[in-house]
Amino acid sequence: MKTDLIVILSQREIEKMRQAGRLAAKLLQHLEPMVKPGVTTLELNDEAERWTQAHGAKSAPLNYKGFPKSICTSVNEVICHGIPNAKQILRDGDIINIDVTPIVEGYHGDTSKTFIVGNAAPKVKKLVEVTQECLNLGIAEVKPGAKIGDIGAAIQEYAEAQGFSVVRDFVGHGISNIFHTAPDVPHYGTRGKGKRLRPGMVFTIEPMINEGTYEVEMLADGWTAVTRDRKLSAQFEHTIVVTDDGVEVLTLPELE
């Protein structure tokens, strides 16, 4: 159950989050070569579940509040929480956000990335590149004493300057041995507003950036969120911890 209480994680807990974050990053890396025309989103889901189990972890999304699959696969106009299925076949020029959250020894590693399927138009590439930079700019605001509003303001300023919009209906969130907890981390906002950041706070930053309007429509399945104008949406996500002198990204892929 989500509360307003922000929990400061211990060093032991942060190390658990590092382990979960590293596995989440590895899972995305494992799935990346599969993202090509002709592959179904169900195939991505089933491989993610197989790989997660093989690494002694669990898929947090599976059966979470009734969600039926192990990952979220959000294609083109789907903003988030797309449900993998056998009839959804990736095509050249599509974009797909894959959102994974393995649980390792009770702790959640939550990360997502938008992949381009095959070759995409320049405007599509721009949306994906801007969204990734929005995440980078949001993370760069994180340090002790900063405010949550600083994160959203940096993201919103950049996205809107590039001609895109920022989704309001879904936000980043605290995460630990609980999937979703305080604080909420909006990807829009005002500098100097919101909760003050303190060392040991762990949360996700996961901007959803739209080609057109930021307005959202929910599909009948109760999960899939799409852009109201059916234009494209992209998303990138990392789990981070506030450190004594800045920020550590817990879901970065390890360098070979």
Annotated binding-site ranges for substrate? 81, 180
Binding site residues, as ranges? 81, 99, 110, 173, 180, 206, 237
Distance between CA atoms of 241 and 201, rounded to whole angstroms?
6
**What residues have CB less than 8 Å from 25, skipping those under 6 apart?**
109, 111, 251, 252, 253, 254
Cα separation values, 244 from 95, 100, 142, 203, 239, Å: 37, 28, 11, 16, 17
Binding site residues for a divalent metal cation, as ranges? 99, 110, 173, 206, 237
